[in-house]
Amino acid sequence: MKKTKELYGVVPIIPTPFTEDEEIDDNALRRLVDFAIKSEVSAICLPAYASEFYKLTDEEKLHVVKVAVEHAAGRVPVVAQSNHASLKIAIRLAQANVQAGADIISLAVPRIFSLPEDSIKAYLSEFFRSIPDTPVLIQDFNPGGSSISVNLINELRLEHANFKYLKLEEPLCSPKFEDIIKTTEGSVGLLEGWGGLYMLELIPVGITGVMPGLAVSDILQKIFLLRKRGQNSDAFEMFEKVMPQIFFSLQNMELFHYAEKELLMARGILGNSIVRSAAYVPDANTKRYIKELNERVLLLVGELDAVI
């Protein structure tokens, strides 16, 4: 099994930066990687939903991972998302990302149409077998229903030693997380997604980390550590200041892309907030409100050094 740093804390999703003609901007991507490293996060992940992976060609998906791995140069682990509804193509992407030097491979359960768990198990099992020496992180984002069952999670971890992490993004899932930890004997690290919305609820339950957007990753990393250390008042105070921006932007994934890139612009990391079409185009009031929310995040960033 490939040796890599254990995930602990924030693992931000790196957005895909674009030029004016919607081509991938490699130099901007390198700046995003540098920002993540400066934020002292546990690892970085791309190309995921928050990277607009579903708008990238397979070649572009592999390209952004290669650029991130080369620029990170071992300074931070790289989690390479290898999503595809076709198992054959998902495996091809995963194996190419391993060859490029990715530390962990991530895969989203295919949810375009409803599938029975037997089909999901067959899909995931074959994927695990295709990269047996590389740690794998499974993501299940299922807006149309529940995520994979605890029984399936346990079966997969018993049958595949490289099943190391699981990311879930559903509300009111603390009982399920507790059940997973108990049933798997804590052998599968649990990560919470959906922008970090549920992190303060789930940190005491025993999650390994959080996978939010990049623009607030330094803030959430500090919140995670505060909560883990039992400095709950400080954690809640900081969380309450950043949460309006996260909550508002997550009303729509395409709105999230715009708000995330606008905040990265405001922080001086990106030069534009271009989202590849088809994209959500905010009205004037929405743009104004996002700017206001982002300005409040900037005020909070100025307070960070005094906290930890």
**Residues sharing a CB contact under 8 Å with residue 53, sequence separation 6 or more, in sequence order:** 16, 46, 47, 61, 81, 83
Q: 52 with 276: CB under 8 angstroms?
A: yes
Summarize the confidence of residues 203-217 as an average pLDDT: 98
Supply the DSSP symbol for 197: T
**What's the pLDDT at 2?**
72
Fold designation for 9-231:
TIM Barrel (3.20.20)
**What's the pLDDT at 143?**
83
**Residues sharing a CB contact under 8 Å with residue 42, sequence separation 6 or more, in sequence order:** 5, 7, 8, 9, 10, 11, 76, 77, 209, 221
User: Nearest to residue 13, comparing CAs of 228, 210, 168?
Assistant: 210
Summarize the confidence of residues 10-14 as an average pLDDT: 98
Bond into 278 cis (ω within 30): yes
Q: Residue 164, exposed/middle/buried by CB under 10 A (0-12, 13-18, 19+)?
A: buried
Q: Tell me what percent of the chain is helix, strand and coil, each rounded to the nearest 5.
A: 50, 10, 40
pLDDT above 70 for 144:
yes
pTM: 0.96
Arithmetic mean of pLDDT over the chain: 96
Confidence band, pLDDT 50/70/90 cuts, at residue 159:
very high
**What are the residue ranges spanned by the domains of the chain?**
9-231
Ramachandran class of 73: left when φ > 0, alpha when ψ lies in -120 to 50, beta otherwise:
left
Say what percent of the chain tops pLDDT 90: 92
Q: Which residue has the higher pLDDT, 1 or 180?
A: 180
**Residues sharing a CB contact under 8 Å with residue 250, sequence separation 6 or more, in sequence order:** 194, 195, 197, 256
Amino acid type, 138: I
**Residues sharing a CB contact under 8 Å with residue 24, sequence separation 6 or more, in sequence order:** 16, 17, 18, 56, 60, 63, 64
pLDDT above 80 for 3:
no
**What's the pLDDT at 145?**
85
pLDDT above 60 for 308:
no
What whole-number distance in Å separates Cα of residue 149 and Cα of residue 260?
32
**What's the pLDDT at 305?**
64
Q: Which of 1-10, 65-74, 135-144, 240-249 has the lowest mean pLDDT?
A: 1-10
Q: What is the helix (H) or strand (E) element at residue 241, kind and residue range?
A: helix 232-249
What whole-number distance in Å separates Cα of residue 103 and Cα of residue 18?
25
**What's the pLDDT at 307?**
56
217-228 and 284-301 are packed helices; what angle lies between their axes, rounded to 10 degrees?
50
Task: Give me the phi and psi of 107, to 5 degrees please.
Answer: -140, 130
Confidence band, pLDDT 50/70/90 cuts, at residue 306:
low
For the stretch 57-109, pLDDT in tens is: 999 999 999 999 999 999 999 999 999 999 999 999 999 999 999 999 999 99
What residues does 46 pair with on adjacent strands?
A: 80
